[in-house]
Amino acid sequence: MKSRLLHCVTLISLLPVSAIAQDDPVSSRRIYLDEFRPKAELKVTEHPLKRAKVPCVNVHSHPGKLSDAEIDEMVQVMDEANIAVSVSLDGRVGIFAEHHQKLTRRHPGRFVVFLRMDYQGDGDKDDPKTWDVHKPGYGQRMADHLSEAVRLGASGLKLTKELGLFLRDPSGKLIKPDDPRFDPVWQRAGELGIPVLWHCADPIAFFRPTNEHNERWEELHRHPEWSFHGKDFPTHQKLIDGRNRVIARHPKTKFICAHMADIPEDLKKLGRYLEKYPNMSVEIAARVAELGRQPYTARRFFMKYADRILFGTDGVPPMSELIPHWRFLETWDENFPYEDNPFPPQGLWNIHGIGLPDAVLWKIYHENAARLIPGVSKAVATYVSKNVKLPDQENFHLFLLVGQSNMAGRGKVTKADRVGNPRVLALGEDGRWKVATDPLHFDKPNIVGVGLSRSFANAIADSDPTVTIGLIPCAVGGSPISAWEDGGYHESTKTHPYDDAMPRARHALQYGVLKGILWHQGESDSKPGAAEVYEQKLHTLIARFREELEEPNVPFIAGQMGQFAERPWSDAKKLVDRVHRKLPDTIPHTAFVNSNGLKHKGDKVHFGADSYRILGKRFAEQYLKLISQQ
């Protein structure tokens, strides 16, 4: 008999013959595991995203064996998926410059490269006893190799599980991860300011007996060489403990622990490690399968440790492998496959999305990588400005656009609105700069239209031909001012307006100088109970904007709500309007823009396109007047 595991579902053998479909040859016998192809009958919402929401850095890729044509294909997928930068972990001692140049000359700004730890040196590849790692002074020599690689452009050091699971001393004994001979290397990495990305172990199941109780039996049955159970292999925990001792001994060195620190199965334990070791971060490569089957626990973990998690995939992922990553991180999709293989590589289960807010996505997708890995910040900057020419930072004047639908714009778009001014740029939803055209916002794609922003920006650009204007659209239609509090949530759009705006603003400030905040909002608070507290909330919001963006005197311009005869104002709306009018008398460096004579588009709520353009010019007039007085 074939040595296959019988599938546990044997109900069919209990059915009477008359209940069995006679034209189905499989239905009359038991099904082997490698024949089982269940199709879910669930009918759930699906969002097969093909792009990361904001520019992404893949900190774990392996393009080392690719041809030039294959590298071109990789970059094409990166473009389609909004991956700004990939980190190659395939730089090697002796040929580092060759690999680095192959990637960076062909595609400048799209790759950074790590050097791999080298144990062989001048020794015989087929005779490990001759390797450099066994000779006195190895640690210092390897540290010097690292320094030379950094001089040639290296951004980090990569370790594989070879250390701890395969590398042996001349007597045949496995060398432990925390062997002191490597201490000079860890120390040098800290002195050079580069991180160490360390793959230390494998899934815990690989260290268990390969039997009917092992949840990765099917995978290990196909790859018995992946099992580290028995023989003289250390336990999984001993490997983790050895790595952690290194992290503790070298607090000035940054460690990025690959594959969720090799313990995605126990996020509570991983959380304790992150709290104990401030120089430790993790990346998610090849572990979405583990994370996505525990969505509640994973989401809590990602929210709590958002500053310590980086994005990674492993390998050179095609689009079909990237889609599950975006779905897991960005959506609430349920029960979807994490791979498109007939037999997924990491277990026979599906995963669920964890719907992370934008503020967390910005950190995981690239902000954390930019902070930890030299060269990434510059590379991301090159990517986000790829299609436009950015001016010097001091000549790039930025304006944050916040509020609700009359800031976002609901006017009718014409062909002329789709023609931009090269000196007026906008930060797109994907985090990349582009020439500003309408519709500028993206809060409600099906109804967003012409707004006040471009006419404002064109007027400011005309007033000073030496500057370029950068617009940061963040308005959310229908959002009350409570949604613009720290942690505020807007149910109808499923967004966190303030929390989403802040990372976009901070991202933009890497390229320019914040010159103003434009606010048009109030309709959603023009009701009893909300109007009475509006002034306090608005004053608090202005202070919070200025404090978090570190611009205590940045101009704040508030626009008046629409005055339409067909829809008279309530007492609550009049109260909100008084708050706007009083701003210049109550808060320094603020201005008020009236809406006198402007027309609605027919819905008695939103301005028409021509009125938006007039309103934008009025915003510009008040802004220029305000800065002339400062």
Task: Look over the chain and give the mean of its residue pLDDT values, rounded to a whole number.
Answer: 93
Residue 27: predicted pLDDT: 58
CA separation for the pair 464, 472 (Å, rounded): 19
Is residue 437 helix, strand or coil? coil
Residue 576: predicted pLDDT: 98
Q: pLDDT tens-digit profile of 42-54?
A: 999 999 999 999 9
Contacts of 524 (CB under 8 A, 6+ apart): 404, 478, 479, 480, 481, 530
Two structure tokens written together for 215: 């949840």
Identify the CA nearest to 451 among candidates 466, 431, 468, 437. 437
Q: At what angle do helices 534-548 and 497-508 cross, to 10 degrees?
A: 30
Residue 1 confidence (pLDDT) above 70: no
Contacts of 211 (CB under 8 A, 6+ apart): 217
Distances (CA, A) of 484 to 46, 480, 490: 29, 7, 9
| Residues linked to residue 168 through DSSP beta bridges, in sequence order | 174
Residue 170: predicted pLDDT: 94
CB 176 within 8 A of CB 164: yes
Residue 69 confidence (pLDDT) above 80: yes
Q: What is the longest distance spanned by two Cα atoms in the chain?
A: 92
Q: How confident is the model at residue 24 (pLDDT cuts 50, 70, 90)?
A: low
What mean pLDDT comes out for the span 275-295? 98
CA separation for the pair 571, 526 (Å, rounded): 8
Cα three-residue angle 472-476-478, rounded to 5 degrees: 155
CA separation for the pair 620, 471 (Å, rounded): 13
CB 510 within 8 A of CB 381: yes
Residues in the chain: 630
| Residues linked to residue 468 through DSSP beta bridges, in sequence order | 396
Q: How confident is the model at residue 32 (pLDDT cuts 50, 70, 90)?
A: confident
Residue 12 confidence (pLDDT) above 50: no
Is residue 108 helix, strand or coil? coil
* Tokens 């608070």 -> residue: 525
Q: Is the dihedral of CA 480, 481, 484, 486 positive or negative?
A: negative
What mean pLDDT comes out for the span 113-119? 98
* Tokens 């028409």 -> residue: 608
Residue 16 confidence (pLDDT) above 50: no
Contacts of 67 (CB under 8 A, 6+ apart): none
Residue 370 confidence (pLDDT) above 90: yes
Is residue 447 helix, strand or coil? coil
Q: Which residue type does 100 have? A: H
CA separation for the pair 305, 267 (Å, rounded): 11
Q: How confident is the model at residue 23 (pLDDT cuts 50, 70, 90)?
A: low
CB 185 within 8 A of CB 146: yes
Is residue 616 helix, strand or coil? helix
Classified by CATH at the fold level, domain 386-629 comes out as Rossmann fold (3.40.50)
Residue 6 confidence (pLDDT) above 70: no
Two structure tokens written together for 571: 């007492």
Q: Which CATH architecture has domain 56-377?
A: Alpha-Beta Barrel (3.20)
CB 525 within 8 A of CB 536: no
User: Between these two residues, 586 and 6, which has the higher pLDDT value?
Assistant: 586
Same fold, 56-377 and 386-629: no
Contacts of 151 (CB under 8 A, 6+ apart): none
Residue 289 confidence (pLDDT) above 80: yes
Peptide bond into 108 cis (omega under 30): no
CB 564 within 8 A of CB 584: no
Torsion of CA 376, 381, 387, 390, to 10 degrees: -160
Q: pLDDT tens-digit profile of 402-456?
A: 999 999 999 999 999 999 999 999 999 999 999 999 999 999 999 999 999 999 9
User: Between these two residues, 264 and 630, which has the higher pLDDT value?
Assistant: 264
* Tokens 């001792």 -> residue: 245
Residue 19 confidence (pLDDT) above 60: no
User: Between these two residues, 375 and 343, which has the higher pLDDT value?
Assistant: 375
Residue 4 confidence (pLDDT) above 60: no
Q: Which residue type does 291 have? A: L
Residue 20 confidence (pLDDT) above 50: no
Q: pLDDT tens-digit profile of 293-344?
A: 999 999 999 999 999 999 999 999 999 999 999 999 999 999 999 988 777 7
| Residue 625, Cβ density class (10 Å: 0-12 exposed, 13-18 middle, ≥19 buried) | exposed
Q: Provide the whole-model pTM.
A: 0.85
CB 117 within 8 A of CB 158: yes
Q: How confident is the model at residue 94 (pLDDT cuts 50, 70, 90)?
A: very high
Identify the CA nearest to 497 among candidates 404, 594, 572. 404
CA separation for the pair 168, 232 (Å, rounded): 11
Percent of the chain residues past pLDDT 90, beyond the cut: 90
Two structure tokens written together for 399: 């304006």
Phi and psi at residue 292, to the nearest 5°: -75, -15
| Residues linked to residue 285 through DSSP beta bridges, in sequence order | none
Q: How distant is the alpha carbon of residue 397 from its chain centre?
A: 26
Percent of the chain residues past pLDDT 70, beyond the cut: 95
CB 197 within 8 A of CB 159: yes
Where exactly are the structural domains of the chain? 56-377, 386-629
| Residues linked to residue 257 through DSSP beta bridges, in sequence order | 198, 282
Two structure tokens written together for 476: 């959310």
Is residue 167 helix, strand or coil? coil
CA separation for the pair 622, 617 (Å, rounded): 9
Q: Which alpha helices (DSSP H) does 527-608 contain, by range? A: 534-548, 571-586
Q: pLDDT tens-digit profile of 495-539?
A: 999 999 999 999 999 999 999 999 999 999 999 999 999 999 999
